[in-house]
Every structure is written in C-alpha cells, then in structure tokens.
C-alpha cells in the first residue's frame, strides 16, 4: 500500500522542503518508487528538483480545482523512480477559490485516489501555515512528519501543531498518525540545540527520529542547482544524514 506522508510545520524556514526533497530522493536511491507533491505556492520543492516553476502551465493548482487529472501533471526528475507534481504561485489563489467547493478539505485526497502509477511513498511538501492547503495535505495523508529546529520557540509551535493534528484526526482524517519529529539544522556545539533536543527526547521520545540532520551548507546549496543533495554532493554530511534517516524511516514501517 502507498504510504502518504505530509511534511508539515506552520513555522517558516524550518526545513520542510529540504526534508521532503532529500528524504524522498534517499528512499528513491534505496529502490523505492516515490512521488513528491509540492503543495506550496513558493514552489521551492519544484525548483529544488530542477523543474522551472514558470514553465508549468498545469500544476497541482489545476488539480485541486478539478480542471486537470493528477496523472497529467506528474513530472520526472533526474532520479528515475522519483517523480514530482509541481506547483507555482497560482496555487496561492486556491485557498479562496476552493472556499465554496464541495469536499474542499479532500480535494487532494480525492485526486490521489485516481493516481494510475503505483508509488511506495507519496510526500507532500506543505506551506508554512495551517491553511486550507495544509488541511488538504493532512486530510490526504496517513502520517505527518514534522521537521523542527532545536530552538526555544520550536517547542511552542509544536504544541499548536499537535493540537491542529488532533483536530484533523477528530474531524477529517481519523487515520492520521504522527510519523515522527525530526531534528534538523542541528548544531552539536550549540548548547541551546542540545537543551531543546534533550527536551524533545524527554517529552516526545516515542515519536522522535533518532537520526539528527546537521546544519550543512551543501544541503542549502543543492536547490540552487535544481538537484537533490544525493546528486549534488553524495558524500556531504547532510546527504549521508538523510540516507540514514531513510533507513530509520523504513525500519519503522
């Protein structure tokens, strides 16, 4: 069965897109068939795998509005078994346009049901908000993966996010689970990183990935070349960390 994983955190710039691209690419490298759906109008995941957002006439935006079939917008990447559904800035209008639609929270879930190609994993990269787009992702997913930076305010945001997940479980998607909390941009030498990480271990041990993703400049450089880190720099610390995460992720299945 396909597992659908939503990568979410309403905080901006916490490593959602970097995690979605590089965990997806690492699983593809391990032979899994993976689809990444870019559900963010910023289209960072689209650009990060080498697809020019301004060239795309049809994206996930038309899919949500019911104007085009999801199968028609699946694009190939440089990694053969890693495919992508692109986004662009038009998607920002979807929030308002979908407001009066029937089943507006399930537009993405319904579209995914019609996928013809079989994937082992579908990742959904969310925008930094608990908006209708993120609600569509959480309604479509089996699980949610939460990247976090080990900073003081991260823990406050986490409580809000967990409350929202509980609300979605109660009202829209009773099957939604927490796939895991992932510590990213981790700095082993910073005492705040260690303290917050310790708090996470204390309170969330059972859902915490043991793999730590370090702060690594190669992970930040790779998207400007339109490449997942595993292609851009296969030996970089960050690349190896996402491969280790993929192993841990598969073991938990």
Spatial neighbors of 66 by CB under 8 A, at least 6 apart, are 101, 107
- Structure token pair of residue 80: 């053969």
Q: Is residue 18 a contact residue for Mg ion (CB under 5 A)?
A: no
Residue 17 binds Mg ion (CB under 5 A): yes
Q: Which is nearer to ligand ATP, 79 or 213 (CB)?
A: 213
> What does 211 bind: Mg ion, ligand ATP, none (CB cut-off 5 to 8 Å by kind)?
none
Tell me the C-alpha distance between 221 and 17, whole Å: 13
Mapping DSSP to helix (H, G, I), strand (E, B) and coil, where does residue 225 land? helix
SS3 state at 80: coil
Instruction: Closer to ligand ATP by CB, 16 or 83: give it.
Output: 16
Cβ within 8 Å of residue 71, ≥6 positions away: 114, 115, 116, 117
Cα(98)–Cα(152) distance, integer angstroms = 36
| Distance in angstroms (rounded) separating the CA atoms of residues 4 and 124 | 8
Distances (CA, A) of 251 to 146, 207, 246: 18, 14, 9
Q: Which residues contribute to the site for ligand ATP (CB under 6 A)?
A: 12-18, 40, 42, 44, 128, 184-185, 213, 215-216, 219-220, 238
Q: Which is nearer to ligand ATP, 220 or 252 (CB)?
A: 220
Q: What is the dihedral of CA 220, 212, 245, 226, to 10 degrees?
A: 0
Report in angstroms how near the CB of residue 68 gets to ligand ATP at its nearest: 24
Q: Which is nearer to ligand ATP, 106 or 232 (CB)?
A: 232
44 binds Mg ion (CB under 5 A): yes
In the complex with ligand ATP, the residue whose CB is nearer, 97 or 221, is 221
Are residues 218 and 236 in contact, defined by beta-carbon separation less than 8 angstroms? yes
Residue nearest to Mg ion (CB): 17
Judged by CB under 5 A, which stretch of 9-17, 61-69, 202-210, 243-251 contacts Mg ion? 9-17
- Check residue 136 for interaction with Mg ion (CB under 5 A): no
Question: Which residue carries 């692109």 as its tokens?
Answer: 86
State which of positions 76-135 bind Mg ion (CB under 5 A): none
Query: For residues 211-230, which are near Mg ion according to CB under 5 A?
Result: none
Residue 185 touches which of Mg ion, ligand ATP, none (CB < 5 to 8 A by kind)? ligand ATP
CA neighbor of 155 nearest in space, from 3, 9, 6, 2: 9
Supply the minimum distance, in Å, between the C-beta of residue 185 and ligand ATP: 4
Q: How far apart are CB 213 and ligand ATP at their closest, in Å? A: 5
Please pick, from the candidates 16, 83, 107, 183, the single residue that binds Mg ion as defined by CB under 5 A.
Answer: 16
Choose between 47 and 112: whose C-beta lies nearer to ligand ATP. Answer: 47
Give the interface with Mg ion as residue ranges (CB under 5 A). 16-17, 44
């Amino acid at each position: 069965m396909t597992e659908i994983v939503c990568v979410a955190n309403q905080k901006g710039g916490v490593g959602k897109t970097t995690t979605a691209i590089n965990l997806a690419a690492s699983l593809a490298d391990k032979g899994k068939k993976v689809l990444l759906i870019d559900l963010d109008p910023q289209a960072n995941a689209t650009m990060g795998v080498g697809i020019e957002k301004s060239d795309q006439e049809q994206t996930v935006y038309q899919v949500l509005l019911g104007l085009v079939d999801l199968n028609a917008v699946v694009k190939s990447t440089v990694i053969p078994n890693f495919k992508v559904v692109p986004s662009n800035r038009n998607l920002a209008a979807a929030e308002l346009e979908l407001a009066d639609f029937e089943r507006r929270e399930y537009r993405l879930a319904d579209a995914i049901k019609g996928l013809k190609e079989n994937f082992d994993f579908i990742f959904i990269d969310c925008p930094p908000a608990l908006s209708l787009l993120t609600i569509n992702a959480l309604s479509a997913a089996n699980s949610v993966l939460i990247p976090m930076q080990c900073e003081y305010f991260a823990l406050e945001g986490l409580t809000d996010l967990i409350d929202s997940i509980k609300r979605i479980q109660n009202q829209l998607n009773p099957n939604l689970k927490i796939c895991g909390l992932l510590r990213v941009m981790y700095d082993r030498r910073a005492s705040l990183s260690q303290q917050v990480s310790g708090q996470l271990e204390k309170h969330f041990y059972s859902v915490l990935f043991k793999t730590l993703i370090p702060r690594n400049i190669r992970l930040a450089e790779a998207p400007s070349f339109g490449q997942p880190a595993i292609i851009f720099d296969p030996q970089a610390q960050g690349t190896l960390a996402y491969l280790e995460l993929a192993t841990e992720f598969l073991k938990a299945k």
